[in-house]
Amino acid sequence: MKRLLITYLLLMVLGQMTGAQEQLTQAQRADKLYERFEYAKALELYLPIADNRTSGLHVTERIADCYRNITRYQEAEAWYARLTAERRASAISHYYYAEMLLRNQKFEQAKAAYKVYFGKVKDPQRLKLKLGSCDSAALWITKKPGYEVKNERNLNTAYSEYGAAFFYKEQLIFASDRDVTTQIDNRTGNGWFNLYFTDGEGSKPIALNKVPAWNSLGNEYHTGPIAFYKDTAYVTITTDAAAADIKTDKHTKQRLYSRRLQLLVMVKKGDKWLLSSDFNYNDLNKYSTANAALSADGKILYFTSDRPGGYGKTDLWYCGKQADGSWGPPVNCGPLINTADEESFPQIGDDGLLYYASKGLPGMGGYDIYKVKGAQNVWAKPENSKYPINSTSDDFALLTHDGKTGYLSSNRQGGQGSDDIYNFKTVEPAVAKPLFGVADKPIKTGQTFVLRNIYYDLDKYNIRQDAAAELDRVAEVLKEHPNVLIELSSHTDSRADDAYNLRLSQRRADAAVTYLISKGIAANRLIAKGYGETQLIIQCANGVACTEAQHQINRRTEIKVLSE
């Protein structure tokens, strides 16, 4: 019996060792995918082993990084929260945690996390910039907006759409990775980017490389965005490059590939658009060149590049048209435009302003859109476009004729996919509208309104479809009254335990607020409060016999105006 017991224990130990080896092998496989930037595939291997004791902080950090890199910021925040709770968490994880909190509009928590990071990595100027972004975002989203921004639902999908360009009158061409039937990008799990065409009148977008006039584009690489000047187009394509400055895989000794961008030139010949040449100043093995924009007279070409001689990670550059029609050498747009971080997506409006995206200027977080007067390397001070053109996420690729209407790209909350295309227009001075259906009454701090159609299943707090419709109406009203802050409270009837009712009502209020945030309402405009059975309208307290109709009156969701 003793020998059998020893044999059994040995088998258990061997089984545990084998399991540990299998887990280690899975982690190594995931690491290889991660090092090749194949974040979507790496996640599939990391997640099943995340809770094993053998996985450690390394797997937790990699999961958080993967979610961040595929722009799933709420999941990334949750994993960075788990990671930074550990004493041995890396300093950079605190920075990324702060970034995710800012993107998810948790401004005070973001400021605290930034302070933790910059307490470890001394950079007072950058800390000041980040804290300023939190304060600016919290302030701007409560101000009366000068623009109305709407999702282009006819263009967008559950995938990514960005970089709209005008093509003859109001027709649009944009980039999307919606096609998952051919190539798959292992970084995101979506398809490769291709250009799509729409007539701007609600028709279904068509892949441009399937249109006979554009079939020279092919689909051998990521394509987009595109910029036009008369019968010439400048297309950004993304390819993998193996260059001398790119590290090798430490396991396989094979050279890793980096994504590099370059510009291709297309010209119109008859009724067809043909690939003509590479842009003269591409150098795929050394740096990227992308995202072209042309001045109104076609004499200046602006673009994005990480070539040597810049001020930061990516800068805006320009080339001037020479007498022989060629482009002169690239010149940096200078320190008023460029920062130590990233600048990209230039666009020249018909109003003559340069619109571009920056991560290095004071803003709301992520890429913010700026506008500035000037040309080449002589500029005024850039002006932040503020909310709602900007958000706490990435906002970029603004396209406009007159500065009053146009399109932008963003991965802000409430979108259909990763990046979405939005239209915008200036708004006229607001005329007072009734709040929450109460006509002819001024909005007053302290007013309370009962939402009659918010119902929950028994003992549940998920938002039902009928409740969602009512909350959608609330979201629209809040967008029409951007300065209003509210408390959304949930009340139960007196049945069930008092403490249980209090917890349930808080969860219901939290769920309603989370839903409103998903519809684009700033988190700092909403307070969730569960009162349980402490504020009964009909005094059906414990032990008092009441009808179901009386209990229903007590079960309610209310909105209280906290400030106007």
Give me the tens of pLDDT residue by residue for the chain, a chain 564 residues long: 334 333 333 334 334 444 444 455 799 999 999 998 999 999 999 999 998 766 789 999 999 999 999 999 999 999 999 999 999 999 999 999 999 999 999 999 999 999 999 999 999 999 999 999 999 999 999 888 899 999 999 999 999 999 999 987 678 999 999 999 988 887 888 999 999 999 766 678 999 988 999 988 877 889 999 999 999 999 999 987 644 444 544 443 444 457 899 999 999 999 999 999 999 999 998 999 999 999 999 999 999 999 999 999 999 999 999 999 999 999 999 999 999 999 999 999 988 899 999 999 999 999 999 999 999 999 999 999 999 999 999 999 999 988 999 999 999 988 999 999 999 999 875 444 455 554 444 555 666 665 655 766 666 778 877 678 788 888 888 888 888 888 888 888 777 888 888 888 898 889 889 999 999 999 989 998 888 888 877 667 776 767 665 666 677 788 888 876
What pLDDT score was predicted for residue 202?
Answer: 67
The rounded distance, in Å, linking the Cα atoms of 422 and 155 is 9
**How many beta carbons lie within 10 A of that of residue 254, not counting itself?**
10
Q: Where are the beta strands (DSSP E) in 331-393?
A: 331-332, 343-348, 354-358, 368-372, 374-375, 378-379, 383-384
Closest C-alpha to 165, from 155, 151, 178? 155
What pLDDT score was predicted for residue 556?
Answer: 78
Structure tokens that stand for 84 in this block: 């930074």
Backbone angles phi, psi at 6, to 5 degrees: -60, -45
CATH topology assigned to domain 448-563: 60s Ribosomal Protein L30; Chain: A; (3.30.1330)
What pLDDT score was predicted for residue 7?
Answer: 36
Torsion of Cα atoms, 110 then 113 then 114 then 117, to 10°: -160
The 10 Å CB-count burial string (b at 16+, else e) for 542-561 is: eeeebeeebbebbbbbbbbb
Longest dimension (CA), the chain: 97
The rounded distance, in Å, linking the Cα atoms of 421 and 397 is 9
Domain edges within the chain = 147-246+254-426, 448-563
What pLDDT score was predicted for residue 481?
Answer: 83
The rounded distance, in Å, linking the Cα atoms of 409 and 430 is 26
What pLDDT score was predicted for residue 410?
Answer: 98
Closest C-alpha to 534, from 519, 554, 552? 554
The pTM score is 0.72
| DSSP letter assigned to residue 365 | S
What pLDDT score was predicted for residue 435?
Answer: 52
pLDDT one-digit tens code per residue, 546-557: 766 566 667 778
What pLDDT score was predicted for residue 15?
Answer: 42
What pLDDT score was predicted for residue 306?
Answer: 97
CATH topology assigned to domain 147-246+254-426: Tachylectin-2; Chain A (2.115.10)
